[in-house]
Amino acid sequence: MNSFKAVFKRELKSYFTTPLAYVFLVIFLFFAGYLTFKQGFFEMRQADLRPFFQNLPLLFVFMVPSTAMRLWAEERKSGTIELLCTLPVTITQAVLGKFLAAWLFLTIALALTFPLVITVCYLGEPDMGLIVTGYIGSILMAGGFLAIGCFFSALSKNQVIAFVLSVVACAILVFAGMPTTLDYLSTFLPTGLVNAVESMSFQTHFDSIQRGVLELRDLSYFVLLIVGWITACGIILDERKAG
């Protein structure tokens, strides 16, 4: 447990000792506000955060991989991963420590969007239940994107390659649930396969949570996704260590 805490604290501290973390937060908060109010917000005449949550998956496609790409790629490139492996810490503890520290950082970034909540509360009487479930879904989705990014960061020494592969994988999982994608697939795939593709999409389960109902199938999707990709990350690092 002490080894896990050491990795967690080291990783979390590293975010706030470099200017990159603050640049990330500024860019994320800027686009979060811009995409929320850029068009149609005031024309809706309804104070809620639907525009924010609707644009969040596409924003996460680029922002979360930029956080994840350095987790293991940087360690491998600088050679510090060999030092880490010689310490009394298991691969599992190292992977979980780094992942949870990065996930907490992303949660802090989401928490800093609280002025949006204050704004809609000032402009009207939003359904706070929908806002709360929207944030829960956003945190789970960030964890899913991050787990994918961790895997590709462990797979490559090059941060740029890790970033590109993560963006592609995350984009596929988002666009797979878009109505236009599903309509296109339905023209040549049977209904069962189209439904299977839809069920594997971030967008489908995130939209379901946004409606204000936390269903077991949606929560299970994100939990299994995170566990699966984090486990794969650990397997990759174990093979590198053995090699």
How does pLDDT run across 66-88, given as a tens digit for each residue? 888 888 777 666 656 656 666 67
DSSP-assigned states of every residue in 22-78: HHHHHHHHHHHHHHHHSSSTTTTT---SHHHHHHHHHHHHHHHHHHHTHHHHHHHHH
How does pLDDT run across 95-147, given as a tens digit for each residue? 898 999 999 999 999 999 999 888 888 877 888 888 999 999 999 999 999 99
Angle of helix 70-78 versus helix 91-111 axis, rounded to 10: 130
Every domain of the chain and the residues it spans: 2-242
Distance CA 138, CA 103 (A): 11
Amino acid at 193: L
How does pLDDT run across 196-229, given as a tens digit for each residue? 888 888 888 898 888 888 888 999 999 999 999 9
Distance CA 151, CA 134 (A): 26
Q: What is the pTM of this model?
A: 0.89
The average pLDDT across 177-192 equals: 82
Tracing tokens 């955060």 back to the chain, one arrives at 49
Q: What pLDDT score was predicted for residue 84?
A: 62
Q: Is residue 35 within 8 Å of residue 51, measured between CB atoms?
A: yes
Q: What pLDDT score was predicted for residue 148?
A: 94
Q: Is residue 219 within 8 Å of residue 140, measured between CB atoms?
A: yes
Average pLDDT, the chain: 84
Q: What pLDDT score was predicted for residue 42?
A: 60
DSSP-assigned states of every residue in 84-101: HHHSS--HHHHHHHHHHH
